[in-house]
Amino acid sequence: MIRISVSQAAKLLGLTRKNVQCDIHKGILQTHEGLVTMDSLYRAYPNCCLDNAGDIEIDRVNNIKARASYQNSKGDNIKNENEKLLIGIIDELKSELTDVRKELIYWKSLYNSDIKNNGWSLNCKNIK
């Protein structure tokens, strides 16, 4: 059962919303949960051209799908851009970590050679 709003029914019939509301109150049109059923429109206005009523529902659903699809694809683009940005940051940090490790190894070896040359004792097991 196709249901449309009172405003949509008025547009389909070429009437004002007030006229459709009056028909609802008189019992000419039936509503379900505040929406006008297409069956009652066909019965109340048999001479009116309501053939495109199904098209209105199809268009409405297609519009909803298009908006949802656009929002989803927009979110995917943002996600991809964020992922690329994060990958770049991680690569920079990896490079920096490698440089720091190399420098640490240099200073550790220099420090150890000074300790051996001067006869000092130091435990550097925690420095890798």
Q: What is the pLDDT of residues 76-89, one digit of tens each?
A: 666 778 888 888 89
* pLDDT, tens only, 20-75: 899 889 988 888 788 888 888 888 887 776 655 556 667 777 778 777 776 666 66
Instruction: Say if CB 59 and CB 71 are below 8 A apart.
Output: no
Q: What percent of the chain has pLDDT over 70?
A: 73
Can you give the residue ranges of every domain in the chain?
1-50
What's this model's pTM, rounded to 2 decimal places? 0.39
* pLDDT, tens only, 91-123: 899 999 999 988 888 888 887 777 666 666 655
CA distances from 15 to 5, 22, 29, 76, 96 (A): 13, 11, 14, 44, 72
Measured over the CA atoms of residue 15, residue 19, residue 24 and residue 27, the dihedral's sign is negative
